[in-house]
Amino acid sequence: MTVYRTRAGLRHRFRDVLNFYYPDCLDTTVGGYVAQLDERDGHVYDARTKHLVATARGVHNFSLGVLADGPHWCEHAAEHGLQFLATVHWDDARRGYDWHLDGRTPTDRTRYCYGHAFVLLAAARALQAGIAGARDELERAFGVLEERFWELDHGRYAARASPDWELAPYRGQNANMHACEALLAAYEATGADRFLERAYTVADRVTRDGTAATDGLLWEHYTESWEPDLSYNEDSPRHQFRPPGYQPGHHAEWAKLLALLAEHRPEDWLLERARTLFDAAVDLGWDDEHGGLYYTVADDGEPIVADKYGWVHAEAIGASALLSRVDRDADGRSADVLEWYDRLWEYAGTHLINPRYGNWYERVTREHDRDGPNHGPAVEPGYHPLTNCWLVTRALAADGVDALGTRADAG
């Protein structure tokens, strides 16, 4: 049995990621976090830029540390980030969260649903962790999402607006996926049905209605009327945030979210759709020659960008773990989805996890070479591996077992 099937193994990996970022990520001069740590050795390569998503993810990560009974400094670190999020990132005059700051000075006030969703997620986990001020921030972030981004006729959120709230025509599934994640966390933190109902609506519209024109696969980019824009960025296959093609990682991530939603809304379609999306992720995305999941593919599985990203594998790990709890035979044994869990961990451990520090690399090439330092303001400060390690350990605790693939009555 792989060590990562066990609570102890997952806890070890969880702490490794937290320890990589703390204490260097705490900015004690300007406030907030220094998220730009080199993934190879941890040195700070940009001490000034504050990115809304990186700040929110930092609050989320350290709040999970509190919830997981992690290091004692997690509570202070979460409080430190939430205070900066609520005061410096918040633009009180225009009632929204600023996207980029240079220190404490706004440099990009574009309003992104994606960023506001992560504020909601951060506040929800902070509320669960007992961090002061989290409830107010949760309500404020949700209010902005509802007032500025929600499109009632389409049951989904718009993607982007100007600083003064003029909506752009682009629509995207990614912002809605993370809004669904945040809404589920808000429901878990508050018990308020409005968050669960909104999460359910988004999930239904994105993963069922929104895939009718693409044979059940999740397209990323849409027109203002929510029609798939199949030619979007087709001349920019390596676009950092909006590449063309299907993303196996997002299929796995939605599979995970539907499995989580099914715990609160036990409807058959949720788990059925979760299984279908996970199968699509591995069937289309797995590289039979070199291993690992491609970043983007065509609808026949031909890779568009064959790089292997850390977040993709972390999300597939979380999805396979949650699905293994419900895909069991009469003897309680998990189906082959648990074999995927082991395979994904083996790949990540071999190619994507820094052997010295335990953090996850952003990406490697198809043949597992590292193509550069992966520097930039839009960093991923451990959010995906921390989230999925925590979700799996939480599921094991709920099942009363110490390892995936075992039964509670077996000890």
Please write the tens of the pLDDT for every residue from 107-155. Answer: 999 999 999 999 999 999 999 999 999 999 999 999 999 999 999 999 9
**Active-site hit among 178, 251, 313, 384:** 384
More confident residue, 334 or 385: 385
| Residue 253 confidence (pLDDT) | 98
Cβ atoms within 10 Å, residue 359: 25
The pair of structure tokens assigned to 335 is: 């189906």
- The answer to whether 361 and 327 are in contact (CB under 8 A) is no
d(CA 123, CA 133): 8
What is the Cα–Cα distance from 245 to 258, expressed in whole angstroms? 22
Return the C-alpha torsion angle 288, 298, 295, 243, nearest 10.
Answer: 170
Position 38 pLDDT exceeds 50: yes
Whether CATH 3.30.70.20 fits 3-402: no
| Catalytic one of 51, 60, 221, 250 | 250
Active-site residue 384, yes or no? yes
Number of neighbouring beta carbons within 10 Å of residue 88: 20
Mean pLDDT, residues 378-389 taken together: 93
Distance CA 74, CA 294 (A): 34
**Does 100 participate in catalysis according to the annotation?**
no
Per-residue model confidence (pLDDT) at position 374: 82
Question: What confidence tier does 211 reach under pLDDT thresholds 50, 70, 90?
Answer: very high
| CA distances for 305 relative to 214, 238, 291, 312, angstroms | 20, 7, 14, 13
Residue 294 has pLDDT above 50, yes or no: yes
Question: Per residue in 367-376, pLDDT tens?
Answer: 999 877 788 8
| 3-class state of residue 284 by DSSP | helix
CA 125 to CA 115: how far, in whole Å? Answer: 16
Domain boundaries, the chain: 3-402
Element (H, E) at 55: helix 52-67
Give the mean pLDDT of the chain: 95
Q: What is the pLDDT of residue 334?
A: 56
pLDDT interval class at 330 (50, 70, 90): very low
Burial 139-161 (b: 16+ CB within 10 A, else e): ebbbebbeebbbeeebbbbbbbb
pLDDT of the residue at 329: 52
Q: Residue 313 has which token pair?
A: 């594998």
Q: What is the pLDDT of residues 96-111, one digit of tens each?
A: 999 999 999 999 999 9
Three-class secondary structure of residue 208 per DSSP: coil
How large is the average pLDDT for residues 294-323? 97
Average pLDDT on 46-74 reads 97
Q: Does residue 21 have a pLDDT over 70?
A: yes
Alpha-carbon distance of 328 to 336, in angstroms, equals: 9
Residue 240: pLDDT band with limits 50, 70, 90: confident
Q: Which residues contact 236 (CB under 8 A, 6 or more apart)?
A: 243, 244
Angle made by CA atoms 117, 181, 343, in degrees to the nearest 5? 130
Residues 100 and 107: beta-carbon distance below 8 Å? yes
Q: Which helix (H) or strand (E) holds 135?
A: helix 134-144
Give the pLDDT score at 379: 83
155 Cα distance to chain centroid = 21
Per-residue pLDDT at 409: 61
User: What does the alpha-carbon distance between residue 275 and residue 161 come to, in Å, rounded to a whole number?
Assistant: 34
Given a cut of 60, whether residue 279 has pLDDT beyond it is yes
Rounded to an integer, the average pLDDT of 304-327 is 96
Who wins on pLDDT, 330 or 177?
177
pLDDT at 337 over 60: yes
Residue 266 confidence class, pLDDT cut points 50, 70, 90: very high
Task: Report the pLDDT value the prediction gives residue 378, as an integer from 0 to 100.
Answer: 78
For residue 230, pLDDT over 60 is answered with yes
